[in-house]
Structure 1
Amino acid sequence: MPAVYFNLDLTLTRMERPFDALAVEVLQHADVPDPEIDPTKHSNLFFDRFLELEDDPLVGSYAAYFDDITTDVDVSAEEAADLQKQLEVDAVRPAVADLPGLVETVGAEHAVGVLTSGLPDLQRAKLEKLGIADSLDDVVISYERDATKASGDLFAAAEAAADAETFVYVSNHDSDLEAAEAAGWKTIPADATELADGPLERISDAL
């Protein structure tokens, strides 16, 4: 049986607020003055750590941000990170109205999972909110497997855990698709909205 894995963020999900807006709210909550609020700076600090799988990249990015501004803040980096995670979960919504039905339709014919770069507590909280956590055969998260998509190691981790000979990755991100193809996976360049009317047909075409 083929195994079909979905990317999570912005493939199965949408955001009611932009990611930058979440960082701005966190920085405002920390009483950072408006002239020193720069969500792009925070994003760069975060991804520098995240892509290298550094421990607690969200905490580290806020710690570095607070250290680099002239204003002293009373909010700890840990508190800022926790607030951003909660805001992100609050902002997540399914990309299609019946996302559980879409996942269950795929799961009726194939092993189905999610393969995502992310922080385990945050990504699993999203899966619970979306109502699909119990419908998945496998969840592969970069920070749980100490592996990245770009290296191919995250795809190898999924292969090691799944009883399948053929693997398919569904994502609407070019970098994901390139990494999956390099790992020898079939790919479907789509998000949930593009699969909702005929997911099994699109998977069959990919195979």
Structure 2
Amino acid sequence: MMTDLNLTDMETCYKVFKREIIQSIEIEENRFGFEPEIVAKLADRRVRIYEMGISYDGRTYEEGKKIGASDGFRAVYCILRYNARSAPVGIQFLIYLLIGAVAAIANLGIFGLLDVSGANLAFSAPVAFGIAAVVNYLLCVTFLFHRNARWQNAAEWLLYGAVVVSIGAVDYGITRVLADADVTPLLAKAIACVLLPVMNFAGRRFLVFPSPSRGPWEPANG
């Protein structure tokens, strides 16, 4: 689903590589996270993978077996970390919804704190949105999008800022309209947070971080 590969056992641990391929890959994981990491990075290079049957006798923990529950959680993390940037747009959007949810919680929480402290709407809404935008950016470049995919740092930040300001204006407008319609400010802000994910994702995915597709697989005899 993430890599466009159909593997029967990613975690087999038995892997053979052409030397020039494995030497060209920076390996970051040092435990069982290596498996999803290397598969994702091979998929990024569109290197064909061939599976062959193997047999082995599994060890018990008394005999030295090392894998545990934490390795399973790490594997899920690695699948997301190393595949999300090249995943299909639909999957990226689902991942972005998680990122957007974290940013929305930050947005709503900061707005609520400012609101109960007596700050007016014209101040609290933009400030909360701006802080949430920073949280969103950091999560996006950590887990979902390639930094400097097309733009250099300054241009990327300027474009990101333009997207944030544009969507921030929509966020404020929705909040203002609802508040003027006698909806409580916190509820108005919550509704605005729910309505904006598609615009946020589209602006980031297609304008700020427009990553190229993985491209075609190498020839079968490559």
Q: Which has the higher contact order (CA 8 A, sep 6+)?
A: 1
More strand by share: 1
* Fold shared by both chains (TM-score > 0.5): no
Specify the TM-score bucket, using the shorter chain as the normaliser: under 0.3
Per the normalisation by structure 2, the TM-score is 0.24
Per the normalisation by structure 1, the TM-score is 0.26
